[in-house]
Chains A and B, each alone.
Chain A
Amino acid sequence: MDNGQRGDYAIETRGLNLWYGDFQALIDVDLEVKRGIITSMIGPSGCGKTTLLRTCNRIIERLGYVRTTGSVYVLGHDIFGDDVELVQVRKQVGMVFQRPNPLPISIRDNVLFGFRLHEARTRKVSAAEENDVLESSLRQVLLWDTVKDRLNRPATGLSLEEQQKLCIARLLPVKPEVLLMDEPCSALDPAGTEAVEEMIWQLRGDYTILIVTHNMAQARRASDECVFMLLGRIIEHGRTEELFLAPENPKTADYIEGRYG
């Protein structure tokens, strides 16, 4: 029903409030994330950026003591609506976690986990099709050449960098439109960070990417738009270079210049 106006944005929140028990972690958040670009979220620890990210696929509800008001639209659909299927939301919105979390199964089964989950609900999938999906997903994250000879080995044996790439690869067969990334490089060494960043940059355009980062340099070099959050509120949202060069809000300037955080 809202498709007309809301469709311009991949993610849109309106008056979003979120409480953990009595503690309010998000305060009246209005966010618009444009399609097809990389938007980064920065801010000091505890400012609510991870909470906001985790609200966008409702994985935050796993905690049980979370209460929200307001609305979140993903691709024009209110994900808190009564007619929304959580499975569909999770299919459209892929998530990458802070620590790589491959499942304790083979590399192949990891990449195909979501694919089998969703496709097997409706039809039979041939082995040839699975192999195609497997190869193209791993190629997109620049991992194919490294792992093609050990697809049946446990994914937990890979390096952290490879694991994180694998965790991104397993989202792709489900054909999500939005990828949420929660500090995807924080567990990696500088070389791994660079490799994963480069890979994320290659995904730009095909996917809308919302990425939380602690690392301002990373936000600066690897995002189109940047959101600065503080104490549960969005303070500033703009094009990344403008936000870093000429922040409108003095709080943003203070943070960027390292006066707190």
Chain B
Amino acid sequence: MAWYVDRAAQVFVFVGGISAIVFIAGIFVFITKEGLDFVLGPLSLGEFFTSIEWRPTSNNPTYGALALIVGTASVTGFAMLLSVPLSLGAALFIAEFATGKTRETLKILVEMLAAIPSVVWGFVGMSIMHPLIIRVFDVPLGLGVLNAGLILGLMAAPIMTTIAEDALKAVPDTYREAAEALGATRWEVIVKVVVPASRNGLLAAVLLGVGRGFGETMAVLMASGHAINLPTSVFDSVRALTATIAAELGDTVQGGNHWGSLFTLGILLFIVTFVINLTADIVVRGIRKK
């Protein structure tokens, strides 16, 4: 009897483990299948990457995704500018300075922050940040790179903080002790020992934050202004790749060119996030080997 239970548990765990691979592969196959006809057929890659004319519903449709790519990149870039120092600072404080109750409370709060739904963040962007930006900077519109970047930065910060903190905690305490016994101050220990020793983990944290930024949809859709535009200032509205898919996919003819073009954006996003996550993974593996 016990033998059956053991066997069943084994199969169950194996299926659970392998399902992740099946899902990833499945998603990739599905997106590619939907987009491939379009990519190989009507799409001009030159236009896709260099034109800002995204008019898939026009009588004479054009599929220039440059503005969307720049939109996603600018919002993500701005978000990282904000959240990388913030999260690394928070991680350093939690891992190296905070003790006891403070530490536990902060960790719980950071984890709670990560659990806020993205539509709520989008709502914050629209109803709080939007009027605030108009008032503070005296600009006509508060939905744009600044707003979306701030929101996205705050959204990416918790996951980066958590992973960076794990990386810092993984540095053996004997290193700190050795450096302190040699007369290093707390800051010297952090700067000369802890951060170099956890470099890979910190880099992985940043990369996962970038991946999170690239993939985020709802909050960016709501806070970015969703206007096709090459931004020249942080107050300009932009449109993100993800937001475009979310906003337009419902109105397309399944299997048509517009449908295919949106899946092409999906392929691009998939490749970018896959590369980022893979890099992060390889980097993390790098630490373990040492």
Contacts and interface: CB of A to CB of B under 8 A. Distances in A.
Interface of A: 57, 59, 62, 64, 86-88, 90-91, 94-95, 97, 99, 101-105, 113-114, 117-118, 154, 156, 167, 170-171, 174
**Nearest 5 Cβ contacts at the A-B interface:** A90-B183, A114-B182, A101-B174, A95-B181, A101-B178
Nearest to A170: B182
Contacts, number: 60
Given A103-B193, A104-B197, A105-B196, A113 B177 contact: no
B180 interface: yes
Given A99-B174, A101-B174, A104-B175, A117 B183 contact: yes
Interface string B176-205: 111111111100100011001100000000
A105 to B, nearest CB: 7
A88 B197 CA distance: 26
A87 B175 contact: no
A90 B175 contact: no
B265 to A, nearest CB: 43
Given A101-B175, A103-B193, A104-B175, A117 B184 contact: yes
A131 B21 CA distance: 53
Contact of A91 (B172, B179, B183): B183
B99 interface: yes
Nearest to A110: B178
B101 interface: no
14 contacts: A59-B180, A62-B180, A87-B183, A90-B181, A97-B178, A101-B177, A103-B175, A103-B193, A104-B197, A117-B182, A117-B188, A154-B290, A170-B182, A174-B182
A103 B179 contact: yes
Nearest to A114: B182
Given A62-B177, A103-B197, 9 more contacts: A62-B176, A90-B182, A90-B183, A91-B183, A97-B178, A105-B196, A114-B184, A167-B178, A174-B183
B175 A171 contact: no
B244 to A, nearest CB: 45
A243 B180 CA distance: 35
Interface of B: 99, 172, 174-185, 188, 192-193, 196-197, 290
A78 B80 CA distance: 49
A214 B181 CA distance: 22
Nearest to A102: B178
A97 B196 contact: no
Given A103-B193, A104-B197, A105-B196, A97 B179 contact: no
A167 B182 CA distance: 10
Contacts of A86: 183
Nearest to A98: B174
A248 B290 CA distance: 52
A90 B197 CA distance: 23
A181 B175 CA distance: 17
Nearest to B172: A101
A97 B183 contact: no
Contacts of B193: 103
Nearest to B185: A87
Which of B174, B180, B181, B197 has most A Cβ within 10 Å? Answer: B181
Contacts of A99: 174
A104 B197 CA distance: 7
Most chain B C-beta atoms within 10 Å of own C-beta, residue among A87, A99, A118: A87
Contacts of A91: 183
A203 to B, nearest CB: 17
A113 B172 CA distance: 18
A99 B178 CA distance: 11
A135 B10 CA distance: 58
Nearest to B198: A104
Contacts of B178: 97, 101-103, 167
